[in-house]
Amino acid sequence: MNLLWGKIRHSIGLGLDLLYPPRCGGCGATGQGWWCPTCSASEAALGAEGITRAMLDDGRPLLEIAWARFAPPLREGIHALKYGGSPQLAGPFGERMARAWQAGAPDWAADLVAPVPLHAVRQRERGYNQSERLATVVARVIGSPLERAAMARQRATAQQAQLDRNARQANVAGAFFAQAARVSGRRVLVIDDVYTTGATLRACADALYRAGAADVAALTLARA
Ligand SMILES: [Zn+2]
């Protein structure tokens, strides 16, 4: 039923694109695509600054790469991607993430690309998982398979945006579960939209390592 509704919505979306030209997710300009040339020119790519070699509490590695700074107009673009019903922004954003990944970690060969899962209730409300949309594009560009079901949320969590750093860690600790059959012995690239404290990515990496992943890295769209 949800799948059917998704397809209907997608078809309606294609029809609406013809009637109403897309509106830029950054500045609202019409007729210049979902991400206009002016907003593209205002992106603050992080380059080498966006690469962090982090470690989990038990010493296992977590390479983290973020493409750009979380600042206008990208901030508005991410809001449109997450809450504004503009999943199309995953196209241009995912391509930029993939290029940042290829430049930052040329030797890190991902066996699979895994999105940070949304809780099922939230995904139903939104109609899609923005991280999965980004992961789909990243997987295509870097040529690694997308594994949607590598991880699941085993409990609902409060919205991270409303919490401080310590509360964020406690909020997501143990929230994720990874499928050993899909990740064991493999190098997993986790995809998320915004990196704030890294608590969500660390919780995902922990779940993946516990399920036997050989190595874990994370790629995000923006770092706050
Ligand atoms: Zn724009």
DSSP conformation letters of 78-111 = HHHHHTSS-GGGHHHHHHHHHHHHHHH-TT---S
148 Cα to the center of ligand 1, angstroms? 30
Q: Which residues, in sequence order, are CB contacts of 91 under 8 Å at separation 6+?
A: 34, 137
Per the domain annotation, does 21 fall within a domain?
no
Residue 38 φ/ψ, nearest 5 degrees? -65, -45
Kindly state the average pLDDT of the residues 95-103: 98
35 Cα to the center of ligand 1, angstroms? 5
Per the domain annotation, does 180 fall within a domain?
yes
119 Cα to the center of ligand 1, angstroms? 30
Residue with tokens 């992106």: 43
Residue type, 185: G
33 Cα to the center of ligand 1, angstroms? 8
Q: What is the DSSP letter of 42?
A: T
The answer on pLDDT for 8 being more than 70 is no
Kindly state the average pLDDT of the residues 89-112: 97
Tell me if the pTM is above 0.75: yes
Residue 51 φ/ψ, nearest 5 degrees? -100, 125
Per the domain annotation, does 53 fall within a domain?
yes
107 Cα to the center of ligand 1, angstroms? 34
The answer on pLDDT for 1 being more than 50 is no
Per the domain annotation, does 105 fall within a domain?
yes
The answer on pLDDT for 14 being more than 70 is no
What CATH number is associated with residue 181? 3.40.50.2020
Kindly state the average pLDDT of the residues 139-165: 87
99 Cα to the center of ligand 1, angstroms? 21
93 Cα to the center of ligand 1, angstroms? 13
Per the domain annotation, does 37 fall within a domain?
no
The answer on pLDDT for 190 being more than 60 is yes
The answer on pLDDT for 4 being more than 80 is no
78 Cα to the center of ligand 1, angstroms? 12
Q: Which residues, in sequence order, are CB contacts of 144 under 8 Å at separation 6+?
A: 109, 110, 111, 112, 113, 189
pLDDT digit string, tens, across residues 78-94:
999 999 889 999 999 99
Per the domain annotation, does 16 fall within a domain?
no
Least Cα distance to 2 among 98, 127, 121 occurs for 127
Q: What angle do CA 33, 125, 20 make, to 5 degrees?
A: 25
170 Cα to the center of ligand 1, angstroms? 37
Query: How many domains, in total, are found in the chain?
Result: 1
7 Cα to the center of ligand 1, angstroms? 28
Per the domain annotation, does 8 fall within a domain?
no
Per the domain annotation, does 66 fall within a domain?
yes
Q: Which residues, in sequence order, are CB contacts of 13 under 8 Å at separation 6+?
A: none
Helix (H) or strand (E) holding 169: helix 165-172
pLDDT digit string, tens, across residues 204-217:
999 999 999 999 99
77 Cα to the center of ligand 1, angstroms? 8
Residue with tokens 């750009």: 68
Helix (H) or strand (E) holding 7: helix 2-19
198: containing domain: 43-223
Tokens of 201: 């990515």
Residue 166 φ/ψ, nearest 5 degrees? -65, -40
Instruction: Say whether the peptide bond before residue 73 is cis (omega within 30 degrees of 0).
Output: yes
Alpha carbon distances (Å) from 154 to 90, 118, 177: 26, 10, 6
84 Cα to the center of ligand 1, angstroms? 15
